[in-house]
Amino acid sequence: MDVQLKKGIVEVCVLASLRREPSYGYKIISDISELIEISESTLYPILRRLEAQDMLRTFSRDFNGRTRKYYEITRLGEKRIREFMDEWKDMERVYDFIRRKGR
């Protein structure tokens, strides 16, 4: 898969994993890894970038005597998911065109 395309898909998957409830890094990886390969070294730069773009925000909670950082989607993050879905519809039309022309 093209690196830039995969990057965009992973970012949207991260946002989508936060739609239901705020979450933390390990859980996000667990949720997404069934669909697409992702590691901590991939996830945390994405989380920082999405936070810098105001697509998510962070807060901390105590968990078993330690502080855990949680991530929560923002309205801009929700908007990015909707934009991605619209873009994907365009990609499906291109895919259908390519497939039909290949026959």
What average pLDDT does the segment 37-59 reach? Answer: 95
Could you tell me the pLDDT band of residue 21, with boundaries at 50, 70 and 90? very high
Length of the chain: 103
Dist CA 7 CA 4 (whole Å): 5
Could you tell me the pLDDT band of residue 5, with boundaries at 50, 70 and 90? confident
pLDDT at 91: 87
- DSSP labels, 30-66: HHHTTTS---HHHHHHHHHHHHHTTSEEEEEEEETTE
pLDDT at 102: 66
pLDDT at 53: 97
Q: How many domains does the chain have?
A: 1
Give residue 75's domain range. Answer: 3-101
pLDDT, tens digit, 9 for 90 and up, residues 51-78? 999 999 999 999 899 999 999 999 999 9
Q: What is the CATH number of the domain that holds 93?
A: 1.10.10.10
